[in-house]
Amino acid sequence: MPDFAARVLSIVRRIPVGRVATYGDVAAAAGSPRASRAVGNIMRNCASRDVPCHRVVAAAGRLGGYGGNLELKRALLRAEGLTVTRTVIREFRDRRWPSAAQGRPGRRIQPAARARAKTGKSRAT
């Protein structure tokens, strides 16, 4: 269903200059907050140059990946007025996409995912 992809592209295109969004944010805006991987995949295609895939970064302000030209991504970000360190963006949460809820009042837990995330290993006591 290309809808998702189209939606993602549309969203990424709406990212203003000097601002960045995470795959998760884009995915969430696209309708599936868990489809961050899908977003990355779609970006990888980068069918449209109108899509500033370089403005899409990983969580925590990390750049994430960029088809072998990761430094290019950093350069682009810096060129937009962002401050990027070796691995993360400074003031990231301050430069986050306005629509992406800057305020993160604690992380919501997902009982479902968490229940399976236990790896089934021996848990303490």
Partner DNA sequence: ATCATGACATGTT
Partner DNA sequence: TAACATGCCATGA
Known catalytic residues are 53
Instruction: Rank residues 45 and 102 by Cβ distance to DNA and give the closer one.
Output: 45
What backbone phi and psi angles, to 5 degrees, belong to 70? Answer: -60, -40
Contacts (CB under 7 A) with DNA, residues 63-92: 64-67
CB of 118 to DNA, least distance (A): 6
- Rounded CA-CA distance 14/51 in Å is 9
Task: Provide, rounded to whole angstroms, the least separation between the CB of residue 83 and DNA.
Answer: 18
- In the beta sheet, which residues pair with residue 22? 57
**Residue 111 in tokens:** 């009982």
61: left (phi over 0), alpha (psi -120 to 50) or beta: left
The footprint of DNA (CB under 7 A) covers: 1-5, 22-24, 31-32, 34-46, 53-54, 56, 58-60, 62, 64-67, 107-110, 112-114, 116-119, 121-124
